[in-house]
A and B are shown apart, each in its own frame.
Chain A
């Protein structure tokens, strides 16, 4: 509804709509006219309201119309609003809105002030070498972290409001001369089509933009680090920032991204290659080791070296559970400990470690409930899983699934399950990009930053799998 010329009418209507105690209706007089400043106590900087709005208004003599006052109070974020709904939404965003008697328009001033966490190193991606800044929950701070790194007019930011009730700020960021227009359009369309009551974290957005909603596997890249997001944007990806979330999303997503670390590009290339191989081997061990061990014990004793077999035979003597049940329960206990250690207050953590390692582990072995090799395999698998922390969700599920298959049909079941997984993953695409690229389909040029990475100056091209507009990343000397 349009604003009325009468301040009393406007005030009455707004009072009815904004009937919460943290909304302040501050009455004042400008020259000889009645006026009203409307703001939310918790979202605004009252010093700014006093210094930038109220104090200059006291000096006004004569002209007190909206245009003159907007000129008198020069503030970059000020806008003129004409209807009730705009006044309400601006107020709830943290602006102060000035309404004047006899005027059917109001002025909104940007005087937001939120308390947010300081920029610190993200706990999930700590590095020895490289930037230690991490995103915070403020989209403004996150955008500033990006802007500081990408100083080009091609850096585009598109903002959206998502969530009928929460009206959360969502921004997509990309380099307009590099990112594929198809991806940008599709992402824009998907975000605009989200019709939900609220968005409280970027993972909500991820679930809406995923192509296969029921998939076990990730279809959107995530990062908490501005340097990583910058690098991804430079490769041609599109980033999504959500107010209230320190985790930025990136599309298109390639599974191998999660085997790469920002540190790979900062440290010695040989060391990085070694680290990547270790990550791949670790994740393979994490997923397959428990199932291979169980399947070997149950069906394929011949594949276990004799001396190791003797050790196993000695240690499983008298164990009441079958190898598969034993491993299943041990993994289940590991998952329980893991879940509890995340949720538990930190001061109980020490006690949990003692209970987990000593009481459950050592005592269970001494009591003859589980065998030592099983505990060892479970521990190794558990540690290995965290070499690619972004894949923990799907891989821990796969580990249990493969364990059940190995325990019931043995190695052949495992091989068939791997075939099934390969077919499934090769058919999984997001934003028309196969998640297994550059391996399936094989994109030879992109392998320079695949399982092995070449020296940074030799990565002359951007990943072709992402279909960047400008494929060339750097100038080659003899060109």
Chain B
């Protein structure tokens, strides 16, 4: 079943909330905590929260800019106000953005799966089964993503609760003190680094017009965005509480944080239940930008069939993984030095374009 993004009311507000609660935060659980800790040390929590606050602000602005045209999709809005060619250019930028922002998380998850979950290094092809799944998800519409979130949200919450409950006993939260360090420069540097995993707010524009705006929907979506990130903040705090000064080297601590628990000592690696539950949500989280890239490309190519855009997008990522998949940390450096700036630029373009439409619409109302 191929479904076009032009279909209306495909997704419920609740499902968008679940996406922000279950899918988008879980990709921040792997290398992000150690990567921020490398520069921020005990200020890593603050760094993460600053990054989230900026993203949340961006989300609030996007939601407010869209409130005038609740029933119009982004494509229709842009097409009406800017014409066909500029709209296609904007959607091409969005396609590139979604592809670019999925590169590092995919490489990161590949390394995580190969080094942490397997006793011995598995065959390189093991991770590539993910692309069958991501292509399949890309062929589906927002409706299916939303319904998947309806189920996955419970698995994520159970996974996080289990991971936290097994590791919280080993954490010394005083490692996080002082919460606000005197020198804020490393904190801000850490916040900037978190941008590699951030900009989740930019999923929102493509969802506009595809849900029925209900009472307080903006508050609900924003709160779930904040809630999801607060859960990650809890994991980050526990992570730093366990590892303290050596946190920067612990790249995939999620799979190891609970090994010090008495339960694990007594009955075996029970903590892997949480690892597997979270991995289930993570594969959706890293496939999500590919689905959004497919749908953006669909608009650029003016096709109602998702097959070709899905094959292009997923094929590109498959090739990128095959050729550069082992350059995980080089990709991370590149994402910080170039990627985050590019993501900021895309956000600025989107906000600018949406602001212009908002003003246009307001003028139209006054003229009437």
Contacts and interface: CB of A to CB of B under 8 A. Distances in A.
A368 interface: no
A350 interface: no
Contact of B283 (A299, A416, A441, A442): A416
Contacts of A418: 280
A426 B123 CA distance: 31
Given A306-B268, A415-B283, A420-B136, A410 B147 contact: no
Interface stretch (B126-134, B211-219, B315-323): B126-134
Nearest to A426: B147
Contacts of A426: 144, 147-148, 150-151
A412 B12 contact: no
Interface in B231-250: none
A375 to B, nearest CB: 22
A359 interface: no
A260 B159 CA distance: 27
B219 to A, nearest CB: 19
A321 to B, nearest CB: 20
Given A302-B269, A411-B117, A412-B126, A442 B14 contact: yes
Contacts of B346: none
Contacts of A274: none
A302 B276 CA distance: 14
B148 A413 contact: no
Contact of B133 (A305, A411, A416, A436): A416
Contacts of B119: 299-302
A323 interface: no
B102 to A, nearest CB: 16
A427 B140 contact: yes
Nearest to B12: A441
B133 A420 contact: yes
A409 B269 contact: no
Interface residues of B, number: 39
B192 interface: no
Nearest to A414: B276
B15 A441 contact: yes
Contact of B126 (A304, A306, A410): A410
Contacts, number: 101
B113 interface: yes
A436 B284 CA distance: 18
A335 B354 CA distance: 60
A301, A303, A418, A434 pick with most chain B CB within 10 angstroms: A303
A182 interface: no
Contacts of B137: 419, 423
A354 interface: no
B85 interface: no
Given A416-B132, A416-B283, A441-B12, A305 B113 contact: no
B118 A300 contact: yes
B147 A412 contact: no
Interface in B145-163: 146-148, 150-152
Given A416-B132, A420-B132, A423-B137, A436 B126 contact: no
A440 B148 CA distance: 7
Contact of A410 (B15, B122, B152): B122
Interface in B135-184: 136-137, 140, 143-144, 146-148, 150-152
B365 interface: no
B41 interface: no
Contact of B147 (A302, A305, A434): A434
Given A300-B119, A427-B144, A411 B132 contact: no
A407 to B, nearest CB: 12
A299 B122 contact: yes
A422 B122 contact: no
A436 B129 CA distance: 25
Nearest to A309: B268
Contact of A415 (B120, B143, B147, B276): B276
A430 B70 CA distance: 30
B151 A422 contact: yes
6 contacts: A300-B117, A409-B123, A409-B129, A410-B118, A412-B122, A424-B136
Given A308-B268, A416-B133, 7 more contacts: A302-B119, A410-B118, A412-B113, A419-B148, A423-B136, A423-B148, A441-B146
Interface of A: 299-306, 308, 405, 409-413, 415-416, 418-420, 422-424, 426-427, 434, 436, 439-442
Interface of B: 1, 12, 14-15, 113, 117-120, 122-123, 125-127, 129-130, 132-133, 136-137, 140, 143-144, 146-148, 150-152, 267-269, 272, 276, 279-280, 283-284, 287
What 9 A-B pairs are tightest by C-beta distance, nearest first? A305-B268, A426-B147, A440-B147, A440-B150, A442-B150, A303-B269, A303-B272, A416-B133, A440-B151
